[in-house]
Amino acid sequence: MTRLLELKGVNSFYGNIQALYDISLHIDSGEIITLIGANGAGKSTTLMTVCGVVQARDGQVLYQGDPITRVSPEKLVARGICQVPEGRLIFPELTVQENLDMGAFLRNDSDGIRRDMEMCFGLFPILAARRKQQGGTLSGGEQQMLAIARALMAKPRLLLLDEPSMGLAPLVVRQIFEIIQKVNAEHNTTIFLVEQNANLALKIGHRGYVMENGRIVLSDTCDRLLTNEQVKKAYLGL
């Protein structure tokens, strides 16, 4: 297995306020890595530090062994790191198909783009049925699917997902998580999944990290985290 991403001793700040303390983690090619933690623990900031929206002040962020701390988000997309931000942020005025086209904005292989669009429609048949519909008129679950599909159009090697379950009904969440597993297994995409829904996220992840107050306090296989007493009490409501 190759090391795809590594954070070593990362500290990140918003102005003078420190949000991340000494974060070290790694993701190997092919894994689904789950990051769980309470509101404000620093999960989104960790993702944003990976995709270049927030710059680590200290420590290292390595992608395929190269430091990427000062690489712009756009260049990182070109290198295969793509984020689906919290709150989805699709283009509401554009149709489903136009949203997907936007995901491929850095590509110029029109045949490949067409093939990948069909692949997305295969993964999300509901989007195929609604390809001419404006993004803003889709349901919350459909918008989340569109946000993931749009990210896939960039052909990511590493897909960063920030709380894909947020505000969605349990059945829709299960559907989306099944597709995340499929994208990982069948489309050779490594996944970094941030979630408050710890139970489901730990069920589809291979390994997981637990964050509290800007620090990583636990890391283990997801199987072991699911039976860890501390995790059960704090995050699984057991």
Q: Does 44 bind ligand ATP (CB under 6 A)?
A: yes
Q: Is the separation of the CB atoms in 30 and 188 below 8 Å?
A: yes
Q: Which is nearer to ligand ATP, 39 or 108 (CB)?
A: 39
Question: Hunting for tokens 């689904």 — which residue is that?
Answer: 32
Q: Where are the alpha helices (DSSP H) in the chain?
A: 43-50, 73-78, 96-103, 110-123, 125-129, 140-152, 170-186, 198-204, 222-227, 229-235
Q: Which is nearer to ligand ATP, 86 or 220 (CB)?
A: 86
Among 125, 187, 177, which Cα is nearest to 156's? 187
Q: In angstroms, what is the minimal distance from the CB of 15 to ligand ATP? A: 7
Other C-beta atoms lying within 10 Å of the C-beta of residue 201: 27
Instruction: Please state the length of the chain.
Output: 238
Region binding ligand ATP by CB under 6 A among candidate stretches 42-50, 103-111, 143-151, 174-182: 42-50
Binding-site member from 42, 135, 141, 205 for ligand ATP (CB under 6 A): 42
Binding-site member from 3, 9, 40, 125 for ligand ATP (CB under 6 A): 40
Binding-site member from 17, 108, 171, 237 for ligand ATP (CB under 6 A): 17
Residue 180, judged by CB atoms within 10 A of its CB (0-12, 13-18, 19+), counts as: buried
Say which residues have a Cβ less than 8 Å from residue 38's Cβ, sequence separation at least 6. Answer: 196, 212, 234, 235
Range 139-198, binding ligand ATP (CB under 6 A): 196
Question: Hunting for tokens 């793509």 — which residue is that?
Answer: 82
Q: Does 88 bind ligand ATP (CB under 6 A)?
A: no
Q: In angstroms, what is the minimal distance from the CB of 233 to ligand ATP? A: 19
Q: Which is nearer to ligand ATP, 45 or 97 (CB)?
A: 45
Q: Does 7 bind ligand ATP (CB under 6 A)?
A: no
Residues that bind ligand ATP (CB under 6 A): 14, 17, 19, 37, 39-45, 86, 196
